[in-house]
Structure 1
Amino acid sequence: MVRGKIQMKRIENESSRQVTFSKRRNGLLKKAYELSVLCDAEVALIIFSQKGRLFQFSSSNMENTIDKYLEHAKEKETKTNNTEVRHEQHLKNEEAFMTKKIELLESSKRKLLGQGLGTCSVEELQDIDSQLEKSLKNIRARKAELYKEDIEKLKAKEKSLFEENTRLREKVSLSIPKFLSVHANTRKII
């Protein structure tokens, strides 16, 4: 006989619920015993019924197993806390580093704009001067590149317009004799 799949929800009928609890409790206790014997595992199982009755199984001393569990849980919590503390400290260090880097960049920016130069030494001023010269050189090179591109575009447009102009002149030169002959014929009629 095959059993159907049981839906996992609270059994409403109290006597059916009590029978199911009793059978499943015994099965669970049996499985805990088998696990402890077959695998030489330290197993502790605690069950409280709906009415508050205690059922338990332990392959060794229950109190020792519970103490061992609590100690293990505390170690895990401590490791988790230590990891979180280290991560938090790492983030704080990174924040301090980034803040210092931002301050240096802002100070450098102000100096490049000519502000706060009163506290600069001659060497710092020379560094700023060389940075500005490099920047101007890059700006001028980019500007020249853009001008060159614009000149090439204008030359291409000039060539296109020149070709269009030539084509139109040829068209006009071909149509002028026809126009003159038609115009001459209309004069004779008048």
Structure 2
Amino acid sequence: MMMDLINTRTFAVILSCLLVGASAQTCDNGQLTSVTLCTHNVAAGKETTQHSTYNQDGKSENAVNGNTSGYWGTRSCTGTLWATNPWWSVDLGASYQVGSIHIYNRVEGTLGQRLLGAQVLAGTAADPLANEVIGTIGSEELLDNPIVFTLDKTVTHVSVRLPGNKKLLTLCGVEVYGVPL
């Protein structure tokens, strides 16, 4: 099938899809309209930081280690100290066109309620907390695991912050689905 390559960004997305064995959708005239099935978790194993660390089992890198279990004992969760406005962040190390961010919450008893009101930020600012808030976790979202935020944005950093006093931020997995630019 012949495609009209409009610009280098479109070419990069098509090439990325080919590298991961996916396909692109086209409209009737053969021009690229969207790319599907070619995103992968671009946060896996990337550099992470957080406001503070609760203990040795709550390290920031736990959120991107591939284990999304919602149980603290499986060492899949991060944990900050109780604080004002705690946060967690991942540096993707490059620019990606991101289509969705998946947040995995704790599933033990009512501990998942601690994530209520958390904000998910994404963008290209060097200070990850200066990026755009793309969503807030409300009571309805707490029922889902993972909690999924969809977007179509160029991203280098993804962060989660929990506004308020005496808050403890715990994440049991963060996946960022996108393609390199």
Tell me which of the two structures has the higher relative contact order, counting C-alpha pairs closer than 8 angstroms and 6 or more residues apart: 2
**Interval containing the TM-score (normalised by the shorter chain):** under 0.3
Structure with the larger strand share:
2
- Structure index of larger Rg: 1
Superposition TM-score, scaled by structure 2 size: 0.19
